[in-house]
Structure 1
Amino acid sequence: MSQLSPSSEIAGKPTSHTFSHTMLLTAVAVTALGQTLVFTLLPSLGRATGMTEMQVGLIISCSALVFALASPVWGTLSESLGRKRVMVIGLSGYSLGTLSFAVVFDLGLRGGLVGIGLVAALVLSRMLQAAIMAATPAAAAAYTADITTPAQRTQGMGRIGAANNVGTVVGPVSGGILATVALVFPLYGVAALTALMAISVALWLPPSPHRPTTRTVPLRSVLRHGLAAYADPRLRDLLLVGVMLFMSFALIQQTLGFLFQDQFQMSPAEAARALGLTMMMAALTSLSGQLIVVQWLKAPATLLVALAVPSIGAGAIILWLAEAEALMSGAVMLVGLGLGFGMPAIMSLASLRVPTEEQGRVAGLASACPALGFIVGPLVGTGLYTLDQRWPYLLVITLLAPMSILAWRLARKV
């Protein structure tokens, strides 16, 4: 499979490269905005429609499983269909999926759909959405690998992470503001925004320097090749680190909204605003860490992983012990800083371990790490929360040992 040299492409068309990266980063930011907004609203929407904590966790876990399975498959498809086309498919599916998710929740809030029927409809709509939206992060990461040299790879993936954090900052704020109109109203806004982004990418994103294959690849072959990435021994340690980092984040994010409601007697709308503000501050911390340490100081990827583990661990310890809302918010900021270091490092290391013809598949695998963490995290976290409100954070603390060992082994490989 042929591919242009990223360095020659960048040298030859600097303006086109800058515009391409801007469009890519905007698409990533819009996707992150929608995801964070949904995660922020779910605890409040769940309580408002009479769902239990475990049922809310089930929605996230089921959709995360589908996302994780679909992500490397879409990354593999981007080798034959092209990065741009796959991104348009992902954004379009995200828009339609969010619209259906919003309609189902609207029915639940109005009493038209209740109980198990409501939960089943939400799980199904979110799973269908995840199956298609997984295309966008995988294609965006592969496109970034196409237009960066190996020396630029960590910074390039860091910009993807920074864009993700910009969306994470804007998402909770916009969600909190729009939720004052109606609790489900922000979901309709996300559907409209991602539809506009899909149109923008289709019209204005230049093609990637990667040259897609012209032959039609059988679906069975794409599925087999894409899913085989999970068994690749070259990537196993990176996959484990990424999954544990995001599982830790999921344990915290999906229980904090309930904790705010229960410990501080907040209403669902108040808890949505408080959690949104907390996640916004965490995203700002993550963004600052990426800009200073990744982009400015150009820290190596293995050092970034080593910094991520203690940062997340310190946040979990504070959450386990703290009683004040301000301390809890500060703890989540530390967790956000850890993710800001860890995410671009995992994506960069994975990209550098494979040749150019495997960039799509590996970009999909790296993009699946958040979803893999969210398969187990929400269900386990909400389950532990029903037993004791602080047990989810104790579990994050216990994950520090295996994460530290893996981070040390990554550093030894360099």
Structure 2
Amino acid sequence: MTAPTPLPTSETVVSRPQTPLLLGAVLLVYLGQMTLNPIIAPLSREVGLAEWQVGVTISSAALMLVLTSQFWGRRSQSWGRKPVLVAAFALATVTMILFALVAWAGMTGLVTGVALFVLFVLFRGIGFGAAIAAVPPTAQAYIADVTTDETARVKGMAGVGAVQGIAMVGGSVIGGLLSAFGLLTPLIAVPVLLVAGLVLITVRLRREQRHELIAEPARVRPFDPRVWPFLLAGFGMFTALGFIQVITGFIVQDRLGLDAQTTGLVTGGALLAAGVGMILAQAVIVPRSGWTPPTLLRVGGTIALAGFLLLIMDAGPVPLFSSILIIGLGLGIAMPGYTAGPTLLVNREEQGGLAGLISATTGLTFVIAPTAGTALYGTWALLPIIVGAAIMAIIVLFVFLHPRFRRMPADPDPEKR
């Protein structure tokens, strides 16, 4: 086994990095996705879909993330970032226009039942899922390529998480406020955001020169001893999140006794709290802490666990909003540890494959968790929250006890990992 060269030299760093522009692309695609979150629960009830059908729709998007992330991650190194992102934004725009039309047809009764469910899965799930799968690995592989030390790497990965948090806040505000004008209004706004991203990438993003590309990016195995502990930690944390993310709208509506349009507005406020926690974590706490990836996982996981335990309480809006904020804060601290940690242990040729693997691992959690969460919610409203808290507790113990997280800062020899 050859020694890795995880940190690029001046000869391998892409000239004139366009990191802010790439983060802008991440912001816009996630802003489009997050704008839908406040309305997905009330929209499903308006068109006559069951909770489990919403779960299947979200899970199908996650399945596409699993199936295509490694492909996109490697292609971002062999084709270049610009062609990958242009294709992704174009596909996302088309599928969201079609999804808005399907939602309108469902609300007016033109399409109902199984046909409506299939179209939801096709456009919101498969099409949009395949499109957004390209964005995180492209951004993560790029940051791994242009950062030169551990601190810069962690800050760069935190930047990706920070713009996701900003998108969560912005999407919550946009989706919640626009839902007051009808549930179709946010659906119309999403393609507009995606077109803006497509224009930004097409006009402003520089295409790499041939010598900056990697002809044959390497695959990274999920059970590679250098990376699997990080993948398992991330898988557990996002699985716990997946059990509650899709049912947040149902929790808000049922605990507070709200109608459909008010639910969209209040759910937007709840997701806004999560986004504020994530932004605070990744824009302020992580860059200033100087913590290593294992420390970020330990601290963030513990805070998120506290949020899950608080969410179990049905004591009105204050504990509800507080718990969601705490979960966002904890996962916001943990995420850069999950994404940056393994990038410090692999070669440059493996960064695209690793970025795809990280995204696929995250996506895998949302293949099962949303469907399971919505099904468990139909059985007993507290059950998915309790299951999520239990998973989070197990992962917190894992990151405290596993040797990878205890030895990593002091053991630079990859042969021993």
TM-score in terms of structure 1 length: 0.91
Select 1:122's aligned residue among 104, 108, 120: 120
SS for the counterpart of 1:321 is: coil
The residue aligned with 2:143 is 144
Judging changes above 3 Å, is the alpha-carbon distance between structure 1 residues 9 and 207 closer, same or farther for their aligned structure 2 residues? farther
- In 2, distance between residues paired with 1:298 and 1:47? 46
The residue aligned with 2:411 is none
Judging changes above 3 Å, is the alpha-carbon distance between structure 1 residues 208 and 294 closer, same or farther for their aligned structure 2 residues? farther
Shift of 1:231: 4.2
Shift of 1:371: 1.7
The residue aligned with 1:403 is 395
SS for the counterpart of 2:200 is: helix
**C-alpha contact (below 8 Å) 1:162/1:290 kept by paired residues:** yes
What residue identity is the alignment partner of 2:262? Answer: E
- In 1, distance between residues paired with 2:98 and 2:329? 33
Shift of 1:7: 5.4
SS for the counterpart of 2:193 is: helix
What residue identity is the alignment partner of 1:41? Answer: I
- In 1, distance between residues paired with 2:393 and 2:180? 42
Judging changes above 3 Å, is the alpha-carbon distance between structure 1 residues 298 and 107 closer, same or farther for their aligned structure 2 residues? same
The residue aligned with 1:286 is 278
Aligned length: 399
Residue 113 in structure 1 maps to residue 111 in structure 2: yes
Select 1:346's aligned residue among 330, 338, 347: 338
For 1:184-203, list aligned pairs within 5 A. Answer: 184-203=184-203
Residue 236 in structure 1 maps to residue 228 in structure 2: yes
- In 1, distance between residues paired with 2:361 and 2:67? 11
Judging changes above 3 Å, is the alpha-carbon distance between structure 1 residues 30 and 369 closer, same or farther for their aligned structure 2 residues? farther
- In 1, distance between residues paired with 2:6 and 2:245? 41
TM-superposition CA deviations, 1:271-294 (whole Å, max 9, x none): 111111111111111111222321
The residue aligned with 2:43 is 45
What residue identity is the alignment partner of 2:213? Answer: P
- In 2, distance between residues paired with 1:76 and 1:141? 11
- In 2, distance between residues paired with 1:280 and 1:8? 40
- In 1, distance between residues paired with 2:206 and 2:264? 38
- In 2, distance between residues paired with 1:59 and 1:21? 32
For 1:160-239, list aligned pairs within 5 A. Answer: 160-207=160-207, 211-213=212-214, 229-239=221-231
Which of the two has greater helix per residue?
1
What residue identity is the alignment partner of 1:44? Answer: P
Greater alpha carbon shift after TM alignment, 35-44 vs 202-211: 202-211
- In 2, distance between residues paired with 1:393 and 1:30? 30
- In 2, distance between residues paired with 1:321 and 1:179? 28
**C-alpha contact (below 8 Å) 1:61/1:375 kept by paired residues:** yes
- In 2, distance between residues paired with 1:54 and 1:149? 45
**C-alpha contact (below 8 Å) 1:301/1:345 kept by paired residues:** yes
Runs of 4+, deviation exceeding 4 Å:
3-7, 9-13
**C-alpha contact (below 8 Å) 1:254/1:378 kept by paired residues:** yes
- In 1, distance between residues paired with 2:96 and 2:224? 33
Judging changes above 3 Å, is the alpha-carbon distance between structure 1 residues 82 and 382 closer, same or farther for their aligned structure 2 residues? same
Residue 389 in structure 1 maps to residue 381 in structure 2: yes
SS for the counterpart of 2:349 is: helix
Judging changes above 3 Å, is the alpha-carbon distance between structure 1 residues 48 and 85 closer, same or farther for their aligned structure 2 residues? same
Identity rate, percent: 30
Q: Structure 1: 5+ residue runs without aligned partners?
A: none
Residue 26 in structure 1 maps to residue 27 in structure 2: no
What residue identity is the alignment partner of 2:406? Answer: R
SS for the counterpart of 2:296 is: helix
SS for the counterpart of 1:333 is: helix
The residue aligned with 1:378 is 370
Residue 412 in structure 1 maps to residue 406 in structure 2: yes
- In 1, distance between residues paired with 2:30 and 2:50? 26
RMSD across aligned positions (CA):
2.2
Judging changes above 3 Å, is the alpha-carbon distance between structure 1 residues 4 and 382 closer, same or farther for their aligned structure 2 residues? closer
Residue 131 in structure 1 maps to residue 125 in structure 2: no
TM-superposition CA deviations, 1:325-354 (whole Å, max 9, x none): 111110001110111012211110121121
TM-score in terms of structure 2 length: 0.90
TM-superposition CA deviations, 1:12-65 (whole Å, max 9, x none): 96xx43xx1111111111122122222222111101111111111110011111
Shift of 1:399: 0.9
What residue identity is the alignment partner of 1:146? Answer: D
Select 1:313's aligned residue among 297, 305, 314: 305
Residue 254 in structure 1 maps to residue 246 in structure 2: yes
Shift of 1:9: 7.0
The residue aligned with 2:98 is 100
The residue aligned with 2:412 is none
What residue identity is the alignment partner of 1:305? Answer: L
Shift of 1:358: 0.9
